[in-house]
Every structure is written in C-alpha cells, then in structure tokens.
Amino acid sequence: MKLYITAGSPYARIARIVILEKGLESRVEIIAAQTRVADSPYYRINPSGRVPYLIRDDGVGLEESAVICAYLDHIDGKPAFDLPAGGEAWEARRLEGLARSMVDGLAVWGREIVRPEEERSPTIIRHEARRSERMADLWETEIDHPLMRGALNLAQITLACGLGLEARNPDLRWRPGHPKLCDWFDRLAARPSFAATAPPRAPSTTVAPPGSDMAHFPELLRNLPQFEGPFDAFKLEAKDCDVLFASYPAGTVIPPHSHDTENVGVITQGELILTLDGKETRHRPGDWYHVPAKATHAARFDAETSEIEFWFHAPHRGE
Ligand SMILES: N[C@@H](CCC(=O)N[C@@H](CS)C(=O)NCC(=O)O)C(=O)O
C-alpha cells in the first residue's frame, strides 16, 4: 500500500500514527505529495489533490483520514480503534467530533498563513484564532473524560494532531491557561508514534526578512516565486526538475518520508543531518547529497541551514 502525505498535514498525521500503532510500517510506503501547487504530478494520482490518500494493494485509492484509519485498523482483523460498546460509543463519537472540529478550524487558519501576505484574510485568521481559544477552553474541561485518559483512540489522536499544529503556526498558543491540556498533550507527544510523525516547525515568516537566512541568496534568486510548501524556499521550475533555494530554521525536524522525485542538493550554509538507509550523514557548506526516488529518509537541522535542492521528476530519469 502507499500513503500520500505532507509532513505538516494533521489529517495525514492521524493516518501515519495509526500505521505505526498497528505496526503496519512494512506494508505501507509513505510518500510525500506536492499539494497546493499548479500542475502537481500528484493530481494524476489523486485528482482532489488532498492528503492523506491511501492506495490499497488492489490499486483502489481511499480519501478521508477517518476512512483510511478504519481501513488500516481492520486490515489485520484485530481492530484497535473501533467505537466502544454501548452508550460509550456516542461519547467516543462526540469527542472525536469535537477534536475534528478543532483540527478543521486550525487547518483553515494554517492554510491562510501560508498564502502570500497580500492574499491573507485578517478576518479568517481572527475568526480561526478565536475559535481555537474557545476550543482550547472546552478541551481543558473535556480532557478529564475517561475516554481521553484511557486506551489510545481516534479522539485522542485527532486532538493531539490538532494541538501539535503549534509547531506550524507560531500564533497558535493554546498552552497558557490550560495546564491539564498541556500535561495531557506532552505525555502523548512523547509516545513513539507521535514523536516520529511530529510536524516540521514552520519558518517564522514566509517572506525572507532582510538579514534572515534567505538573504544570502542573490537578489535574482530571491525574486523567484515563493515555494508554497512547509518550508521557506524560492522555486525555479525547469523541465522535469524543480530547483529550490531553501532555508530551514534551527531545530527543524523532517520525519521519515519518501517521494517520487530523485533529489540532489548542495548546502550553502549551516548543516543538513540526513538519515538514509538507517545511516546518518552530515552535510556542510559545499557538500552535495543524493536521495534516490522512493527512498525513505529523514532530515534535521540543528543550526539554521540553507541549501539548493534539485527535485528531478520521473520523465527526466527515463522512467
Ligand atoms: N477531511 C479530510 C481533510 C484532508 C485535507 O484537508 N488535507 C489537506 C492537508 S491538511 C490537503 O491535502 N490540502 C491540499 C489541498 O486542499 O489542495 C481528511 O480528514 O482527510
């Protein structure tokens, strides 16, 4: 099976957590999709362009995180995330609905802040920020519900994936005034399936401020279109290859993933710590790295790092 994701998507993260919790890693290949860009090759795979998207072994594709999770949970005939029996089922549904409602609002907010500054709607941002405050207040009370404290379930996973968006949105500050929620979240976030799928920390701003890490790229490159993705980059599109002039703040962690493109890159400042085939390598300014298509790899940046990345699409590689 193949699961298409983006590293920052809370919905894709819900499915990725279920895969890890169910021990299905060897059966599901995780592939990073390029969403929200014109003419992404991903649209030929999933016309809706959304993630998560699961392609089953029989080639049939499934959308919607809840549907994907239910399918994955039942694959071994031992579902762990089905609704509890009796009256508790309604409580489980109610809590999962509340958690999903919070994630939906946070996703709208997150989408707004990655738009070019002049296209962002202050009204939507304000509305979603207020919604998130009300939802955090509500969850500070609901978090003591036995279903939120008992065996892992989809309400817990969904809520934690929503709260985890604090890494992507510096203005999402649900922690102050919510000590029980903080404690609950921090404990769950330490669980291996959550730690392995933590979203990469968003750059503090999508526009390179003067003197920032991006500023060392020549002006001609800084005038290129901004990459619409989970990190700061300017994008040059060539035939069958995208060239990204990218910058990652210190502390960025990119969890294990793979993509259809074959990538090479050169570090221009800082250091890339790359894990490929279970081996960690360090790349400093002037060093090139190579990530084959479909190879599972992870990266982290302890120091602010910039690089020039070349993403070669399949036609160039003669496939
Ligand atoms: N209800 C869907 C939501 C999926 C969704 O909105 N995914 C976003 C990422 S967080 C996406 O793929 N957006 C790309 C786009 O809208 O083009 C689910 O639960 O799977």
| Choice from 17, 36, 45, 50 to test ligand 1 binding pocket (greatest atom count within 8 A of CB) | 50
Lowest mean pLDDT among 50-64, 111-125, 198-212: 198-212
Taking all residues of the chain, what is their mean pLDDT, rounded to a whole number? 91
Give the mean model confidence (pLDDT) for residues 153-177. 95
| Cβ(50) – ligand 1 distance below 6 Å | yes
Q: Give helix 154-163 / helix 10-21 axis angle, nearest 10°.
A: 130
Asked if 105 and 132 touch (Cβ cutoff 8 Å), the reply is yes
| Cβ(65) – ligand 1 distance below 6 Å | yes
What pLDDT, on the 0 to 100 scale, is given for residue 203? 57
What pLDDT, on the 0 to 100 scale, is given for residue 211? 42
pLDDT > 70: percent of the chain: 95
- Calpha distance 160→293 (Å, rounded): 31
- 100 alpha carbon to ligand 1 midpoint, in Å? 12
Looking from the CA of residue 48, the nearest atom of ligand 1 is 17
Evaluate if pTM is beyond 0.85.
no
Long-range contacts formed by 233-236: CB under 8 A, 24+ apart:
233/309
What pLDDT, on the 0 to 100 scale, is given for residue 67? 98
What pLDDT, on the 0 to 100 scale, is given for residue 256? 86
Strand partners, 235: 244
